Amino acid sequence: MQRVVEWLYRYREHVVAALLAVIALSLMSYGNVTQLGGFRALVIGGLGMLQEAFAWIPNPVALQKENRVLRQINMELLQETMVLRRAGIENERLRRMLDLRQHSKLPLLAASVVGKTVFRTRQFITLDRGSRDGIRVGMNVVTDAGLVGTIIGTSSHYSAVQTLFNRDVRVSARLLSTRDEGIIAWDGFEYLLLHNIPKTHRVTVGDTVVTSSLSTRYVSDIPIGIVRSVANDPSSMFYRIVVEPAVEFWRLEEVFVILQSPPLEQIELERSLQQYIERRIGGK
Partner 1 sequence: MTIREYGLYVVIALVTILVGTVASNLLSIGGITPDLLLLVVVALALDKGQLAGVVFGFGAGLMFDVFSTDVLGSNALVKMLAGYIAGFFWREGATIGESIGSLRYVTVTLLCALVHNAVYYLLYTRPADIPFVEFYLKNGIAAALYTTALALLPFFYASRRRDEAY
Stretch that binds partner 1, among 137-145, 159-167, 198-206, 273-281 (CB under 8 A): 159-167
Q: Would you count residue 235 as binding partner 1 (CB under 8 A)?
A: no
| 50-89 footprint of partner 1 as x/- string (CB under 8 A) | xx--x--x-x-xx---------------------------
Q: Would you count residue 209 as binding partner 1 (CB under 8 A)?
A: no
Least separation in angstroms between CB 222 and partner 1: 22
| 167-206 footprint of partner 1 as x/- string (CB under 8 A) | xx----------------xxxxx---x-x-----------
Least separation in angstroms between CB 171 and partner 1: 13
Q: Would you count residue 32 as binding partner 1 (CB under 8 A)?
A: yes
Stretch that binds partner 1, among 32-40, 137-145, 197-205, 212-220 (CB under 8 A): 32-40
**Residue from the set 6, 7, 10, 24 that interacts with partner 1 by CB under 8 A:** 24
Nearer to partner 1, 176 or 228 (CB): 228
Q: Would you count residue 33 as binding partner 1 (CB under 8 A)?
A: yes
| 93-122 footprint of partner 1 as x/- string (CB under 8 A) | ----------------------xxxxxxxx
Residues sharing a CB contact under 8 Å with residue 141, sequence separation 6 or more, in sequence order:
111, 127, 147, 148, 149, 150, 151, 161, 255, 256, 257, 258
Q: Would you count residue 228 as binding partner 1 (CB under 8 A)?
A: no
Task: Give the HSE-up count for residue 168: Cα atoms under 13 Å, Cβ half-sphere.
Answer: 10
Residues that bind partner 1 (CB under 8 A): 12-13, 16-17, 20-21, 23-28, 30-34, 36, 39-40, 43, 47, 50-51, 54, 57, 59, 61-62, 115-124, 152-153, 160, 162, 167-168, 185-189, 193, 195, 250
